[in-house]
Amino acid sequence: MKTIFTCGTFDLFHVGHLNFIKKSREMGDRLIVGVNTDEFVYLYKNKKPIIPFIQRKLIVQSCKYIDWTVDAEEYLPLKYIKEFKVDIITVGADWKTAYIESIDWTLKNNIHIEYIDYTQYVSTTKIIQHIKDI
C-alpha cells in the first residue's frame, strides 16, 4: 500500500484545494493530510486564517479523497512522515525553491517528493480580493 502525505491551510476551501487533494490521492492508496493550525499559519503567513482551525479540519476531513487528517503545527511534520511510513509527499509547486527541513530528511530516506501545480486563477487570496471588490 502506497501512502501519500501532504499539508495545507485550506482556508476558504475551494476547487484549487480539491484539485490538489485529488491529484495527491491519485498517486497512491492512502492519503493523509495535515491541516495547519491557526498558530502555525500566523507564524509563516503573518496573518490569521479566516476559517478557524477546527472548522477547516472538519471541512478537509469530509473530502472523499482523504483517509486521515492530522494537526500540522509545522509544514510537513516529520513525526507524521515517520509514523505513517509515507512513500510520497505532495507539495504545491510554489514551494519548490523553499527550504523545508523535513524534505531534506525525506530525500535522504528515499521518500519521493512530488510537486503539484496549482489550479490557475483560483486561490484564497483571489477569493478574498474578489469579496472586497464586490
What pLDDT shows up at residue 103? 80
Instruction: For domain 3-133, give the CATH number.
Output: 3.40.50.620
26 grid coordinates: 491519485
What pLDDT shows up at residue 126? 86
Domain boundaries, the chain: 3-133
> Would you place residue 128 in the very low, low, confident or very high pLDDT band (cuts 50, 70, 90)?
confident
Cα separations in angstroms, 46 against 31, 49, 130: 28, 10, 21
Q: Is the pLDDT of residue 121 over 90?
A: no
Buried b (16+ CB within 10 A) or exposed e, 100-110: bebbeebeeee
pLDDT digits (tens, 9 = 90+) for 55-93: 999 999 999 999 999 999 998 899 999 999 999 999 988
Q: Is the pLDDT of residue 95 over 80?
A: no
pLDDT digits (tens, 9 = 90+) for 27-47: 999 999 999 999 999 998 899
pLDDT digits (tens, 9 = 90+) for 15-26: 999 999 999 999
**How far apart are alpha carbons 110 and 87 in whole angstroms?**
8
Phi, psi of 69 (to 5 degrees): -120, 150
119 grid coordinates: 489550479
